[in-house]
Structure 1
Amino acid sequence: MIGRLQGQLVAKQPPELLIDVNGVGYEVQVPMTCYYELPDVGKQVTLWTHFVVREDAQLLFGFNTADERALFRLLIKAQGIGPKLALTILSSMSANQFILSVQQSDVSTLVKIPGVGKKTAERLVVEMRDRLKNFTGADFDTGVPGVKPELIQTTASNAKDEALSALLALGYKANQAETVLRKVASDNMAAEDIIRQALKAMA
C-alpha cells in the first residue's frame, strides 16, 4: 500500500495532481480543501495517501494531514459512500463543517453535496456519529482554507475553464456549475479562488 508520498509537484489540475517521486510520476486526487493549501508547481510536497485498487482502475487519493486521511477512510466505510463521493464531500465542506453537520443531524446541509440524496445523508448521520466521536475541531484547521498568496494567477478564461473542469470532476452538473461560476468568477481571480467561492455559494 502507498501510504505517503514526498516529491516534486509537477502539475495540478483540480482535483488531480502529478507528483514526481524519484523519477516516478504519481497521479493523485485530492479534495479541494487540501488542494487550496498546495505549494506552487515545482515545489516539494508531502501527502498522506490512500490507495484504492479496483478491477478497472488503481486510484490514489492524497491529503495534507493524517487526520484528513483518517476522516476519508471513515467516510468510505459508510454504506453507499465510495472514494469518489467521499472526495466530493470533503471538497464541498471542511472537515469541521462535516463533523458539525453529523453531530447536529443537519441533513439539509449534506443533501446539497452532489451525489448525496436524503437517504444517503440520513445514513451518513447515523453511521458516522459514533465513528466521529474521537474527532474534535482541534484535529483540523478551523479556518476556511484560503488560496496561498504566491499562487500563480492565470488568465480569467483559463481560470474559469479550470474551475469548471474541477466542479464537473467533483460531480456537479454542467448547468449548475456554469451558473454559479458566472456569479462568483471575476477577472484576475485564480482558479483555486473561483472554485472555493463556487463551492461556498453552493453549500
Structure 2
Amino acid sequence: MIYSILGKLIAKTRQFVAVDIAGLGIKVLITQKTFQKLPKIGEKVNLLCYFYSSQNGFELYGFFDQKERDVFEMLNSINGIGPKAALKILSEIKAESLLSAISRGKSEILMKTAGVGAKKANRIILELGDKIKNQKFSDSDDNFEVDSELEEVFKTLGYKQKQIREAVEKISPKLKTLQERLKSALKILSGR
C-alpha cells in the first residue's frame, strides 16, 4: 500500500494533481481543501495517500492532513459510498465539520452535499456515529451551520458556489454570528 507521495508538482486542477517522482508523473485525486493548500507548480508537494484498486484499474487519492484521510477511509468503508463519493463529500464539507454533523445526528447538513440524500445521510450517521462519539471537535465546527445559511444568502445574491466557498474558507473562525461572518465574507468578495 502507498502511504504518502513526495515529489515535484507538475500539474494541478481542482480534481487532481500530477506529481513527478523520478521522471514518472503520478496522478493523484484530491479534495478542494487539498487543492487550496497546494504549492505552486514546480515546487515539492507531500501528500498522504489512499490507494484504491478495482476491476477498472487503480486510483490514488491524496490529502494534506491525516484527519481528512481518516475521514475519507471511514466514508469509503460505508456500503454504497465509494472513494469518488467520499472525495466529493469531503470537497464540500471539511472533515471536522462532517464529523461534528455526524456526532450530532444532523442529516440535513450531510444532505446539502451533492449525491447525498436522506437515506445515504442516515446510513452515514448510523454507521459512523458510534466510531466517533467520544471525539472532541473544535469551535470552528459550529460555524458550519451558520456558513450554510451564509451560502444560501450569497446564492440568492447571484454569487457562484466556487466564489462563495472560497470566501467562506477565508473567514476567521473567531467570528461566530451570521452577521459577523456575512460582513467578513462581503469584504472578502469585494476585494477589501
Give the TM-score taking structure 2 as reference length: 0.72
Partners of 2:8 and 2:19 within 8 A in 1: yes
- Is the CA contact (8 Å cut-off) linking 1:15 and 1:30 kept in structure 2? yes
Query: Shift of the alpha carbon at 1:199?
Result: 8.9
Report what 2:10 is aligned to.
10
| Correspondence 1:187-198 to 2 at 5 A | 194=163, 196-197=165-166
Q: Deviations over 1:116-152 (max 9, x none)?
A: 11100001111111122364436xx9799xxxxxxxx
Q: Does 1:53 align with 2:90?
A: no
Post-superposition CA distance 1:46-76 (Å, at most 9, x none): 0000011111121100001222211111111
C-alpha distance in 1 between matches for 2:164 and 2:30: 14
Counterpart AA for 2:27: E
1:184–1:197 CA contact under 8 A, matched in 2? no
Give the residue type in structure 2 aligned to 1:88: K
Partner of 2:76: 76
1:129 counterpart = 2:98: no
Where in structure 2 are the equivalents of 1:147-186 lying within 5 Å? 183-184=158-159
Q: CA separation in 2, counterparts of 1:135 and 1:17?
A: 32
SS, match of residue 127 in structure 2: helix
Question: Counterpart in 1 of 2:152?
Answer: none
* Structure 2 partner of 1:41: 41
Aligned letter for 1:196? R
Q: Is the 8 A contact 1:101 1:107 kept in 2?
A: yes
In the alignment, structure 1 segments of 5+ residues that lack a partner are 145-179, 186-192
Determine which structure has the larger helix proportion and give its number.
2
Q: How many Å separate the matches in 1 of 2:163 and 2:17? A: 18
- Please say if residues 184 and 198 of structure 1, whose CA atoms lie closer than 8 Å, have aligned partners that are also in contact: no
Task: Tell me how far apart the structure 1 counterparts of residues 111 and 168 of structure 2 sit (CA, whole Å).
Answer: 14
- Does the 8 A contact of 1:92 with 1:199 survive in 2? no
Whole-Å Cα distance in 1 between the matches of residues 124 and 10 of structure 2? 36
For 1:89 and 1:67, how far apart are their aligned partners in 2?
Answer: 14
Q: Deviations over 1:161-194 (max 9, x none)?
A: xxxxxxxxxxxxxxxxxxx6x9335xxxxxxx63
- 2:93 aligned with 1:93: yes
Partners of 2:97 and 2:141 within 8 A in 1: no
Cα RMSD between the aligned structures? 2.7
| Fraction of identical pairs, as percent | 32
TM-score, normalized by length of structure 1? 0.69
Shift of 1:31: 0.8
* Higher alpha-carbon Rg: 2
**Equivalent residues in 2 for 1:25-40 (5 A)?**
25-40=25-40
5+ long unaligned stretches in structure 2:
144-154, 170-192
Contact 1:18 1:27 in 2 (8 A): yes
Distance in 2, matches of 1:80 and 1:61, equals 18
> In the alignment, what sits opposite 1:119?
119
